[in-house]
């Protein structure tokens, strides 16, 4: 094997390992995509996960300096088509191979910078953060799914953004206590943690439900290679959302709502059966 190709293959394998170690649910979703899409989506997740780790894990380090270096090294890797950092080498490969828009990367890194400051988010900052932390990740994946189909990519941009937003808002609702207690963050605009109650929770849930409904239309139009995996991620988060809706605000503040592994397997089976029956 060509040594350079071996290095790229090994870097992509590292991205896969990171995905499997950090997110069993996301790994399950990727494995239900067509195999031709696996390496590219693992590379996107590995990049996003490593940036998140700077903000969420290394509390004894200078996070601003780490993020600045990460950003500098990211753009250098994309420009050179190479990096000794396997995560960034894998990411530059997917960016250059699938022509992922640099604007998406810019927006993502800006959202990471926003997390350097503990703050309550007003609506404008909230929208900016949702776009950069979640919607553009969906758009990066959509670039892979719609490779060499630019018209389809343009058509599905809006529902892809709504899907990413729905996923992120569910995460915010599920993790509202840990975000506040561990990181000093409250993401939902105008919400004071001490005033989180059932009425405010229902308002948040109505907004999330609208995102899910808008996103589902786009899932039905995805290329066949991507449809099952994205649908599985959709039903997983929708099930998690339903479980959160059933819990009163006090319970959401007291415990982290989860889906058991057997439920995840049942969701996978159900998605696979619906996929087979519709094709």
Q: How far apart, in whole angstroms, are the C-alpha atoms of residue 12 and residue 233?
A: 22
Domain assignment present for residue 207? The answer is yes
User: What confidence score (pLDDT) does residue 133 get?
Assistant: 94
User: What confidence score (pLDDT) does residue 279 get?
Assistant: 55
Domain assignment present for residue 255? The answer is yes
For residue 188, give the CATH number of its domain.
Answer: 1.10.600.10
Domain assignment present for residue 85? The answer is no
8 Å CB contact between 232 and 27: no
Domain count for the chain, please give it: 1
Alpha-carbon dihedral 97, 101, 107, 108, rounded to 10 degrees:
-20
What's the start-to-end Cα distance of the chain, in Å? Answer: 38
Q: What is residue 111's DSSP assignment?
A: H
User: What confidence score (pLDDT) does residue 11 get?
Assistant: 97
Q: How far apart, in whole angstroms, are the C-alpha atoms of residue 70 and residue 57?
A: 15
Q: How far apart, in whole angstroms, are the C-alpha atoms of residue 3 and residue 35?
A: 23
* Neighbour tally for 149: CB within 10 Å: 13
Domain assignment present for residue 225? The answer is yes
Q: What is the pLDDT of residues 117-131, one digit of tens each?
A: 866 788 899 999 999
8 Å CB contact between 206 and 139: no
Domain assignment present for residue 220? The answer is yes
Domain assignment present for residue 59? The answer is no
Domain assignment present for residue 72? The answer is no
What stretches of 131-255 show up as alpha helix (H) in DSSP?
136-145, 150-174, 176-183, 198-219, 224-246, 249-254
User: What confidence score (pLDDT) does residue 23 get?
Assistant: 84
**3-state secondary structure (DSSP) of residue 1:** coil
Mean pLDDT over all residues of the chain? 90
Token digits of residue 117: 């400051």
Q: What is the mean pLDDT of each run of 10 residues along the chain (279 residues)?
A: 90 95 81 92 96 90 96 98 97 98 97 83 91 96 96 97 96 92 85 92 97 95 92 89 95 86 56 51
What stretches of 23-117 show up as alpha helix (H) in DSSP?
24-31, 35-56, 63-80, 86-98, 102-114
8 Å CB contact between 254 and 271: no
Report the interhelical angle of 102-114 vs 123-130 (nearest 10°): 130
The residue count for the chain: 279
Q: What is the pLDDT of residues 209-221, one digit of tens each?
A: 999 999 999 999 9
User: What confidence score (pLDDT) does residue 257 get?
Assistant: 85
8 Å CB contact between 149 and 194: no
User: What confidence score (pLDDT) does residue 183 get?
Assistant: 77
User: What confidence score (pLDDT) does residue 275 get?
Assistant: 47
8 Å CB contact between 67 and 116: yes
Domain assignment present for residue 46? The answer is no
8 Å CB contact between 274 and 231: yes
Token digits of residue 162: 């709504």
Diameter of the chain measured on Cα atoms: 61
User: What confidence score (pLDDT) does residue 258 get?
Assistant: 81
Residue 197: domain span: 148-279
């Amino acid at each position: 094997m060509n040594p350079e190709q071996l290095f790229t293959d090994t870097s992509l394998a590292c991205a896969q390992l990171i995905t499997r170690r950090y997110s069993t649910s996301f790994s399950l979703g990727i494995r239900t995509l067509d195999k031709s899409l696996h390496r590219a989506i693992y590379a996107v997740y590995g990049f996003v996960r490593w940036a998140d780790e700077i903000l969420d894990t290394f509390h004894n380090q200078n996070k601003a300096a780490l993020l600045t270096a990460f950003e500098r090294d990211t753009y250098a890797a994309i420009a050179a088509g190479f990096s000794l950092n396997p995560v960034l080498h894998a990411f530059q490969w997917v960016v250059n191979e699938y022509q992922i828009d640099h604007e998406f990367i810019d927006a993502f890194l800006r959202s990471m910078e926003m997390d350097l400051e503990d703050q309550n988010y007003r609506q404008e900052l909230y929208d900016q953060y949702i776009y950069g932390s979640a919607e553009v990740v969906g758009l990066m994946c959509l670039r892979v799914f719609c490779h060499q189909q630019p018209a389809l990519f343009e058509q599905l941009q809006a529902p892809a953004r709504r899907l990413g937003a729905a996923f992120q808002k569910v995460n915010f609702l599920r993790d509202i206590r840990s975000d506040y207690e561990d990181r000093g963050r409250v993401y939902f605009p105008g919400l004071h943690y001490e005033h989180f109650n059932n009425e405010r929770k229902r308002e948040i849930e109505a907004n999330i439900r609208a995102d899910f409904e808008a996103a589902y239309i786009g899932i039905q139009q995805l290329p066949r290679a991507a449809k099952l995996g994205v649908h599985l991620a959709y039903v997983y988060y929708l099930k998690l959302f339903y479980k959160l809706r059933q819990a009163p605000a006090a319970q959401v503040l007291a415990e982290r709502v989860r889906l058991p592994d057997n439920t995840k397997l049942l969701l996978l089976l159900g998605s696979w059966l619906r996929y087979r029956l519709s094709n």
